[in-house]
C-alpha cells in the first residue's frame, strides 16, 4: 500500500483478522501450509474462540519462549498458562519508589473501592470529535482548550476529574502502584503490546471529561504533530506564560529549537545550519519505523504482556520514539519532573498532545495494514483496564473495544505525511556522509562476535553477527521478517539511551562509518520498586539490508552506541520471525 494514501483520514469498515496465535518455526514449513491455518472470523468473535482450526492448542495454553539469551529457536516454556491483563484490586494500592531520586511516591487513586461497570463504546450517532494539529490552532481553538483545562484545574484536589487526579492515573498504571491480580509482579502498561490501547483509552476519557466540563460534546483535544517539519517544535500555545497550558518544569532551552529524534539528555540544540539535516533524519526514522514493522506488529506495538507475568520491558519502535519527546520536553536534571518522568508526566498538558500524536501514529499504522487487528491473541484482545469516565462512573474497558479512533467516535484531521517522500533526500545525505569518511578507509579495524558474556556500554560496542539466511527471495521476505534482537538489557539508573547501527563487514573488518541507523533503546525515568531494570529490544532490518546492499552478506556489523545511562547488554543476534507470529 502506498504510504501517501494516508494523507487523508478515512473511516473504514470493521477490522479483519491477521496473524496466528500459535507460534510456528519459519523453517521447513511451506508458506501455503501455514496460511491454510488462518481463521477468517472477526475480532468481535475472538473471545468466543478457544482453539485454532484442526485441533491446534490455543496460545493461551502453551506459551513459547527462547532457549536462553543466545538461543535461536523457539521451545516450549514449561507449559505456562497465559491470561489477559486484568484491572487491579483497588484496595491493594501501595507507594512506589521514584527511580530518579529514590523517594517514595503515592500513585494511588482517590478511591480504594468502586462499583465497576462494563464499558459501552459510544453510539455511532454521537458527534465525531475531530482532533486537530496543535500548531494549526487558531485563537478561538486555544481559548476553548484553555477554558477546559482551567475548569479541570479548578476542581477540588480529591475529585477524580481534577487535573491532579487525572495526571495521577498515568502514575497509577505505569509506576508500580498496584501488583497484578494474583501475582507479585507489578502492573505496568509501558514496554508491551498494551501500551497503545491503554493510552488510547486514557486520552479518550480525559477528552470527554474536558468536554463535559465546558458543556461541549464535540470538544476534541489537540495533537502535537511532531512527525511533520512544521510541527517539530513545541507548539506555541503551551509556552504562553500564565496560561493553563503552561508547565514550569519543562526544558525552556527547547522552546525555540527543532526537536532532534537523536536527542539524549544534555545534548546541545541543533544549530540553524543543522536544521535541514536534523529534519531529514527525523523523517527518515519515521519512514523506517513504518516500513520495518508493517509485516510484524510486535515490532511497532511491543512484545506480549500477559496477566501475571513480569513486565515485558520490550517496547515497539513507536513507543521507543515517544520516549524521546518525553526527555526533550522534560528537564535535564533529576528527578526529571514533569514530562521527563512517567510518574509525573500527566501533570504537563503537553503530555496529552504528545500522546495524541502517538495514538495517531498507531492509527496511521493500522490504516496502512488495512485496519487488520494487530494481534488476534485473546490475551491481548481481552486485556482490560479501569478508568473514571465522564459520567463519574468507574468503567472496565477492553482492548478489543478500541481498534480504531472511529470506534470511540473521534478522528484526526488529515495532515501531510512528509516522511513518506523523504527517502531519496535522506539517501543523498547518507552518501555525502560516506564520501566525507572515504579518506578514512584505511582505518579499518577487526571486529569479532559478541561472545558469551554480557558487555557494558561504556564505549561503542561493535560486533559481528551471523545472519540466518542470505539473499532471500521475495516470497521468503513475505513469509518472515529478519529481526535484530538485543537481549538482556540491564539499566541501573533512571534514564538511558543507546543507538543501534548496522553495516556490512569488509573481510571481517569495520570502517569508521557505523552504517545505517536501525533504532534506539530509550528509557525514561519512572517510579518502581527496584532500581534493576531488565529489558530487550527487537528491530526489523529487512528493508535496511536492501538499502545498504547487504542482502548477500553472511554476517553484519552491529554497533551499539551509548548515549546516556549505565547500560549492560546480554547478547546480540539476528533471527527470522514468521509474519504470522503475535509475539517475538
User: What band does 148 get if pLDDT is binned at 50, 70 and 90?
Assistant: very high
Give yes or no for a contact between 192 and 311, defined as CB atoms under 8 angstroms apart.
Answer: yes
- Helix, strand, coil percentages in the chain from 3-state DSSP, rounded to 5: 30, 20, 50
Of residues 355, 375, 385, 485, which has the active-site annotation?
Answer: 355
Give the Cα-Cα-Cα angle 522, 518, 516 (nearest 5 degrees). 135
pLDDT at site 511: 77
pLDDT tens for 25-71 read: 333 333 332 322 232 222 333 333 333 333 332 333 322 222 222 23
Of residues 199, 254, 337, 526, which has the active-site annotation?
Answer: 199
Average pLDDT (402-410) is: 97
Average pLDDT (151-156) is: 98
Give the SS3 label for residue 496.
strand
pLDDT at site 491: 92
pLDDT at site 93: 92
pLDDT at site 10: 34
Residue 74 has pLDDT above 70, yes or no: no
Average pLDDT (158-184) is: 92
pLDDT tens for 252-268 read: 999 999 999 999 999 99
CA 537/CA 298 separation, integer angstroms = 11
Residue 513 bears catalytic tag: no
The continuous run of DSSP H or E covering 274 comes out as none
Hey, which bits of 423-542 come out as E strands? 445-446, 455-456, 461-466, 480-491, 496-503, 509-510, 516-523, 527-528, 533-540
Q: Which of 134, 249, 223 is nearest to 412 (CA)?
A: 223
Residue 526 bears catalytic tag: no
Of residues 119, 135, 163, 170, which has the active-site annotation?
Answer: 170
Residue 220 has pLDDT above 90, yes or no: yes
Residue 460 has pLDDT above 50, yes or no: yes
CA 196 → CA 180, 199, 345, 395, distances in Å?
A: 19, 5, 16, 18
Of residues 326, 337, 354, 526, which has the active-site annotation?
Answer: 326
pLDDT at site 530: 53
The cell numbers describing 281, all together, are: 533524519
Residue 164 has pLDDT above 70, yes or no: yes
The cell numbers describing 332, all together, are: 535535564
Please give the order of strands across the beta sheet that includes 516-523.
461-466, 555-564, 496-503, 516-523
Of residues 322, 337, 354, 526, which has the active-site annotation?
Answer: 322
Average pLDDT (233-262) is: 97
Choice between 337 and 136, residue whose per-residue pLDDT is larger: 136
**56-60, 210-214, 351-355, 460-464: range with lowest mean pLDDT:** 56-60
Residue 173 bears catalytic tag: no
pLDDT at site 441: 52
**173-177, 248-252, 435-439, 555-559: range with lowest mean pLDDT:** 435-439
Residue 354 bears catalytic tag: no
Of residues 119, 145, 178, 190, which has the active-site annotation?
Answer: 190
Name the pTM for this structure. Answer: 0.86
pLDDT tens for 442-454 read: 578 899 999 999 9
Q: At what angle do helices 275-293 and 423-436 cross, to 10 degrees?
A: 120
Residue 337 bears catalytic tag: no
pLDDT at site 430: 87
pLDDT at site 438: 62
Task: Kindly state the greatest CA–CA separation across the chain.
Answer: 71
Give yes or no for a contact between 245 and 349, defined as CB atoms under 8 angstroms apart.
Answer: yes
Residue 199 bears catalytic tag: yes
Amino acid at each position: 500500500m502506498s504510504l501517501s494514501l494516508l494523507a487523508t483520514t478515512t473511516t473504514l469498515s470493521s477490522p479483519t483478522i491477521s496473524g496466528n496465535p500459535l507460534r510456528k518455526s519459519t523453517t521447513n514449513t511451506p508458506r501455503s501450509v501455514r496460511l491454510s491455518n488462518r481463521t477468517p472470523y472477526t475480532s468481535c468473535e475472538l473471545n468466543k474462540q478457544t482453539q485454532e482450526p484442526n485441533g491446534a492448542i490455543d496460545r493461551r495454553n502453551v506459551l513459547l519462549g527462547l532457549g536462553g539469551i543466545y538461543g535461536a529457536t523457539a521451545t516450549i516454556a514449561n507449559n505456562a498458562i497465559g491470561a489477559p491483563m486484568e484491572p487491579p484490586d483497588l484496595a491493594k494500592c501501595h507507594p512506589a519508589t521514584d527511580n530518579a531520586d529514590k523517594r517514595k511516591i503515592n500513585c494511588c487513586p482517590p478511591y480504594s473501592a468502586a462499583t465497576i461497570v462494563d464499558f459501552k463504546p459510544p453510539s455511532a450517532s454521537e458527534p465525531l470529535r475531530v482532533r486537530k494539529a496543535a500548531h494549526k490552532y487558531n485563537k478561538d481553538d486555544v481559548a476553548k482548550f484553555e477554558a477546559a483545562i482551567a475548569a479541570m484545574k479548578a476542581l477540588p484536589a480529591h475529585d477524580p476529574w481534577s487535573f491532579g487526579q487525572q495526571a495521577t492515573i498515568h502514575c497509577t498504571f505505569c509506576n508500580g502502584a498496584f501488583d497484578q491480580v494474583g501475582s507479585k509482579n507489578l502492573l505496568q502498561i509501558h514496554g508491551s503490546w498494551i501500551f497503545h490501547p491503554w493510552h488510547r483509552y486514557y486520552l479518550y476519557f480525559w477528552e470527554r471529561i474536558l468536554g463535559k466540563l465546558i458543556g461541549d460534546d464535540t470538544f476534541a483535544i489537540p495533537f502535537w504533530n511532531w512527525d511533520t517539519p512544521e510541527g517539530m517544535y513545541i507548539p506555541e500555545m503551551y509556552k504562553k506564560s500564565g496560561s493553563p497550558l503552561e508547565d514550569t518544569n519543562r526544558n525552556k532551552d527547547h522552546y525555540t529549537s527543532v526537536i532532534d529524534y537523536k536527542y539524549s539528555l544534555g545534548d546541545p540544540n541543533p544549530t540553524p545550519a543543522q536544521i535541514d539535516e536534523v529534519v531529514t533524519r527525523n523523517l527518515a526514522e519515521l519512514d523506517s519505523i513504518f516500513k520495518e514493522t508493517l509485516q510484524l506488529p510486535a515490532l511497532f506495538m511491543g512484545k506480549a504482556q500477559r496477566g501475571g507475568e513480569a513486565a515485558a520491558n520490550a517496547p515497539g519502535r513507536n513507543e521507543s520514539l515517544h520516549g524521546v519527546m518525553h526527555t526533550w520536553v522534560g528537564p535535564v536534571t533529576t528527578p526529571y519532573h514533569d514530562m521527563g518522568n512517567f510518574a509525573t508526566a500527566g501533570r504537563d498538558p503537553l503530555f496529552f498532545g504528545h500522546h495524541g500524536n502517538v495514538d495517531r501514529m498507531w492509527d496511521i499504522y493500522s490504516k496502512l495494514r488495512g485496519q487488520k487487528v494487530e494481534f488476534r491473541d485473546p490475551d491481548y484482545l481481552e486485556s482490560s483496564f479501569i478508568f473514571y469516565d465522564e459520567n463519574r462512573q468507574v468503567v472496565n474497558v477492553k482492548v478489543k473495544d478500541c481498534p480504531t479512533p472511529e470506534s470511540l467516535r473521534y478522528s484526526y484531521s488529515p495532515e501531510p505525511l512528509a516522511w513518506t517522500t523523504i527517502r531519496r533526500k535522506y539517501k543523498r545525505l547518507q552518501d555525502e556522509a560516506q564520501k566525507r569518511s572515504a579518506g578514512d578507509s584505511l582505518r579499518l579495524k577487526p571486529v569479532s562476535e559478541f561472545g558469551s558474556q554480557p558487555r557494558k556500554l561504556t564505549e561503542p560496542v561493535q560486533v559481528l553477527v551471523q545472519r540466518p539466511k542470505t539473499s532471500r527471495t521475495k516470497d521468503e521476505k513475505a513469509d518472515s521478517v529478519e529481526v535484530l534482537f538485543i537481549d538482556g538489557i540491564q539499566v541501573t539508573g533512571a534514564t538511558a539511551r543507546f543507538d543501534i547501527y548496522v553495516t556490512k563487514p569488509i573481510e571481517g573488518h569495520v570502517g569508521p562509518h557505523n552504517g545505517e541507523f536501525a533504532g534506539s533503546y530509550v528509557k525514561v525515568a519512572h517510579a518502581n520498586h527496584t532500581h534493576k531494570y531488565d529489558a530487550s529490544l527487537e528491530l526489523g532490518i529487512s528493508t535496511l539490508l536492501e538499502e545498504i546492499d547487504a542482502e548477500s552478506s553472511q554476517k553484519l556489523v552491529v554497533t551499539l552506541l551509548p548515549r546516556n545511562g549505565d547500560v549492560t547488554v546480554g547478547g546480540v543476534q539476528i533471527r527470522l520471525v514468521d509474519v504470522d507470529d503475535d509475539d517475538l
